[in-house]
Amino acid sequence: MTATAPKKKGRALNSSYEAATVLKDYWEGATRHRAEGRPVAWVSGNVPIELFWALGIYPVYPENYSAVCASIQRAQEFCETAEEKGYSIDLCSYSRVNLGIVLGKGVDDPELPYGGIPRPDMLVTTRIPCLPQVKWWEVVREHFDIPMFVVDATMVELPIRESQRQHYLGQIRELIPFMEQKLGVRFHEDTFTETLKLSDQAAELWLDLLDLRTAVPSPVGSREMCGNVFPLVAMLGNPRTIEFFTHLRDEAKECVQEGKGAVENEQIRLGWDNIPMWYNLKFFSDVEEQNAIFTYETYLRYVWGGRMDLNDPWTAFADKHLDVWLNYSINQRVNTLLRDLVKFKLDGFVFHQNRSCKRFSMGQRDLAQAIQEKIGVPSLFIESDMADPRAYAEAPTRVKMETFLEMLEGNKR
Amino acid sequence: MHVVLADSYLPIFAGKLARSILEQALQGKLAHLAGVAISNSSDAVRMLYDLWGRHILQQRAFLIDVPAILEGETNHRVFRQAMLDFKGELEKFTGKPLEPAALRRSIALFNENRRLLKEIASLMSVSPPRVSPETYLDALPSRGETPQRAELTPLHVSGPILVDRSFLPMLRECGATMSSEDLGTGSRYFWNEVEEAGEPVEAVIERYWSKIPESYKTPMEPRWRHLLSQIERSKARGVIFVIEKYSDEDQYDYPVWRDRLRSRGVPCLLLDSELVLESEQVRTRVQTFVDIVKGGAFS
Ligand code: SF4
């Protein structure tokens, strides 16, 4: 599919329509894998994903499932079940959705999206994005009573220190035999290297695509890109990801070459920090009616993916997993943002103060201060939650956003 | 403490503890300190270290950057190295190497304190209690001792920290007393001693690796075993969880502990705290809980 094909209404890139199929195939693939008696692991953001595909263990992402539930307006009911079971409303809403399912009607409930979440044989998680993730997994382990492995890491400032790299790799060397022993799989270095190549190829395509969004006008906005990111989270090492990202990248490239933007008369360019409000991705596209576009997101650039120098695969593998936004110190976040904002020619920045993802949200005031002082980019804070719609106040947020856009327009005149 | 200045750097959901500490620093109330040592004990506290470096410029902050996962040979090695790094930083900062003999003396003194605190803990658990929870928590001689009555229902208090001491007389007014606890700043802090034979630095590191872990550390089982042993030791008839709002680590543990305790017939009550616990609502909930525990009406 290319940009020359007639565009369907609503998407800037026709290839974005493939995202729903990729997602559906992923979840159906997980169910099939389970039904065929092959091993399934529940994993979380920033686990060493390529290992799973290389070992034939299907990596199931409850976080993604929670985001899916949010996007179809079903998160609240599961959050409420978790709260009835004693899990505080202040906890990460991804975990509340998941625990509401696990401790409520169960993961096999046929009423669930994609017919349910395949049961895990193993749990693997990491402290890289946050500590609560590990705690959430402990609750899941309590329920399923299955083996669990946690990969630890301390926060980084780039370049990554050798001691941090060795800490990571030491644990990977413990994780591989753990998986082999518990799940009866075998690790082959060749298969792993092939998987890394696929992963790196996908990352390259994705980063190319993001870089194309530095163009004025931008070929694609945040709403669409948030819908496209999923394979970068869960399917690194899967050839389907390469196919999908190639379509996206090529189509965006054509748009840029032809000077076609997602917004006809692009006037204001915006950036976004934090996880999107999955139940309200419309928030991103609404601004397009006012000739503005969200064309940069820390979440899409620094949370998933990442290139690897495959001449030194293990070092690259470690660095890729440690070098993520949520694992950055505040200083590192500031430096990264300052660099990117100039590159993407942003006029304004929106910080989502996400009450669920505290690790993402802490330090945002420092970021806002830095971009205002150093490069004169003003910012807006909106308070909400990525999956629990009860934390979102439509009217005041809309007014805030409109006022912000008016101010940015004024600045440009 | 009312948080004003720290609002500019930490959102409400970073929790009152981290926000109050930053507030004190920003107000200059900690200026008398030569430095601060910050651990990885929650994401908010870890961020506090970054904020210190950016905004409290006149004061040195040290990060004790240990793993939170207390399993595996790699984590053990990294834990040890992080502790050695911290020691090295302190030595550089003070300009004095750590003398093994001085460390041995300090270990012996701390161990003695730990043993005494354990003794006081057991005096609080007998019926009638021989020391009050206030005395125990302050680890003071029993001067000004609050009289303890045998008819008070013994309860266990669990959580990371109990800042608001007005909770203890309130508990008594409701007909109960704290007979044991597994607070992060209580028994979990002093329960494990440092091995006095052998190389002292290694012994200290080993003690922190294997001590009863805080809620941010995995695995959770040693913490559970400690909680259970304290309840058994003190014959507590129920457990009150005092958990700081936005303390995610403890908030995840609570329903798991509660369900395990309930399956053993031990009733539980959760109180959300923001460093303070005083309110009519809290009193009513505690009173109701104590009445239920006394009446055995719990199911
Ligand atoms: S708190 Fe943030 S990083 Fe942690 S599990 Fe939830 S969404 Fe992921």
pLDDT score at A229: 97
pLDDT digits (tens, 9 = 90+) for B67-117: 999 999 999 999 999 999 999 999 999 999 999 999 999 999 999 999 999
Return the CATH number of B5-94, one of 3.30.70.360, 3.40.50.300, 3.40.50.11890, 3.40.630.30. Answer: 3.40.50.11890
B52 touches chain A (CB under 8 A): no
d(CA B55, CA B62): 14
* A333 at interface of B, judged by CB pairs closer than 8 A: no
Report the Cα A327 to chain-centroid distance in Å.
Answer: 14
Q: Rounded to an integer, what is the distance from CA A118 to the centroid of its chain?
A: 21
Residue nearest to atom 3 of ligand 1 (CA): A129
pTM for this model (two decimals): 0.95
Locate B196 and state its tokens.
């006095």
- Per-domain residue ranges for chain A? 17-186
Task: Say yes or no: A361 contacts chain B, CB-CB below 8 A.
Answer: yes
CATH code given to domain A17-186? 3.40.50.11890
Q: Which three-class secondary structure state does DSSP give residue A350? A: strand
Buried b (16+ CB within 10 A) or exposed e, A52-83: bbbbebbbbbbbbbbbbbbbeebbbebbbbbb
* DSSP conformation letters of A241-285: HHHHHHHHHHHHHHHHHHT--SSTT--EEEEEES---GGGTHHHH
* Residues of A whose CB is below 8 A from B219: 138
Considering only CB atoms, A131 lies closest to which of B13, B43, B256, namely: B43
Q: What are phi and psi of B273, to 5 degrees?
A: -125, 150
Q: Which amino acids bring their CB within 6 angstroms of ligand 1?
A: A 45, 63, 92, 94, 129-130, 132-133, 275, 326, 356-357, 359-360
Are A189 and A225 in contact by the 8 Å Cβ rule? The answer is no
Range A121-126 average pLDDT = 98
Q: Which of B147-161, B212-226, B259-273 has the lowest mean pLDDT?
A: B147-161
Domain B100-295 CATH class label: alpha beta
SS3 A233: helix
Is the confidence at residue A212, as pLDDT, over 70? Answer: yes
Average pLDDT of chain A? 95
**Per residue in A333-389, pLDDT tens?**
999 999 999 999 999 999 999 999 999 999 999 999 999 999 999 999 999 999 999
- For B176-191, the pLDDT digits (tens) are 999 999 999 999 999 9
Indicate if B100-295 has the same CATH topology as B5-94. yes
Nearest residue by C-alpha to atom 1 in ligand 1: A357
Q: Choosing among B8, B10, B12, B13, which should be mutated to test the A contact, i.e. which has the most A CBs within 10 A?
A: B13
Task: Report the atom number in ligand 1 closest to the C-alpha of A386.
Answer: 7
CA–CA dist A120, A122 (Å, integer): 5
Q: What is the pLDDT of residue B148?
A: 56
A366 to chain B, any CB pair closer than 8 A? The answer is yes
Which residue type does B274 have? E
Mean pLDDT of A7-27: 88
* Cβ neighbours of A372 in B, within 8 Å: none
**Domain map of chain B by residue range?**
5-94, 100-295
- Collect all residues of chain A within an 8 Å Cβ-Cβ radius of residue B209: none
Ligand 1 atom 2, closest CA = A357
3-class DSSP assignment, residue B59: coil
